[in-house]
Amino acid sequence: MSNHLRSQNSITLCPGRQERFAHLEPDIRRSTGEKRECTRCVLLGVTGLAILLSISASVVSGIVFIKLNFILPENQDDGKICFTTTDLKLSPFRDEENGIEKLSKEVNDNQFLYCASTPEQMQIILNWVIDNKTKASVDKYNDQLTNNLLEGPAVSAHVLIGSGNSPTYNNNTTVKLFKSRSLSHYDGINIGQHKVIIKTKGTYFLYSQIYFKLIPGVNYHQPMNTSFRLSHKVVRFRQRSPTKNGQVELLRNYQQTYIKYGERYMQSSFVSGTFEMIAGDEIGVTVTNLNYIARIPETNYIGLFLLGNDRTV
């Protein structure tokens, strides 16, 4: 016992055993090395407990945050939260792959649902809510920066349209925008792959043209002399919209037609109008079938320009 000093009873941890536990050893004080090992065990235990509590708090706060921002359906399964595309207010003009696509997908009562059940999926929902709250705040801030707008460059855009892999909206396909083509230009407006994004609140003149060119056996494979409809729409998505899904058809044109034997069908559709816009509004063009669009980009386009910004939207 020459390496130990007599003392009162003390509680120590036994690091050499497979299961560490506290016990009393009367009248023994451990050496400096053993005390350091015991202290390290205690610190590791405290650190692990703190991490566990932090993760639990994050999950609980995330669920509370989601519940505060959504009215959840009554019949939710235990441990799973599901949302419709309307609940999430998903933009039909999503350019990039986002975490929402990693959620579980289900169909219930003819409704397509996105569901979260794992911690990773819960985190995706939480991040999505936070990102959209942040975006709404930024858009609202941009709305307040328009007082001296007309003293600077004109706010306008004219962007050519083409085909490509595109999302669908109400059984119509969203066209792709070619912002880098020589005839495309934009100033004071953002351009995505499938959408024009408003940065400045105000009154805009909006226009779009689509040139349909159908050639039997080439890009048209339906029976001859059979009536069909071509559609050309300009759709707005507004995150802060009070409407159910945030989407409104601003302009549309329908053409009911048919193709005779040995003939081609060529017809242009032009739509235009004046609308009040706010920062963050997303504008896109949809058509019945991308294959029906003429492969001449100069004949297909969307454009808009700011008329004034002195009115309240």
pLDDT digits (tens, 9 = 90+) for 86-99: 777 777 776 655 67
Query: What is the arithmetic mean of pLDDT over 7-32?
Result: 49
Give the pLDDT band (50/70/90) at residue 145. Answer: low
pLDDT digits (tens, 9 = 90+) for 202-231: 999 999 999 999 988 888 888 888 888 899
Residue 80, pLDDT above cutoff 60: yes
Partner residues linked to 212 by β-bridges: 267, 293
Angle, alpha carbons 195-197-201 (nearest 5°): 150
Query: What is the arithmetic mean of pLDDT over 117-146?
Result: 79
Contact between 209 and 233 under an 8 Å Cβ cutoff? The reply is no
Cα 165 to Cα 187: distance, rounded to the nearest angstrom: 26
- 19 Cα distance to chain centroid: 49
pLDDT digits (tens, 9 = 90+) for 34-76: 556 666 665 666 666 666 555 555 555 555 555 545 545 544 5
**What is the pLDDT at residue 287?**
93
If you average pLDDT over every residue of the chain, what do you get?
76
**What is the pLDDT at residue 303?**
97
Query: What is the arithmetic mean of pLDDT over 20-31?
Result: 49
Token representation of residue 41: 């065990």
* Domain coordinates in residue numbering, the chain: 10-63, 69-143, 149-308
- Would you state the CATH architecture of domain 149-308? Sandwich (2.60)
pTM score over 0.75:
no
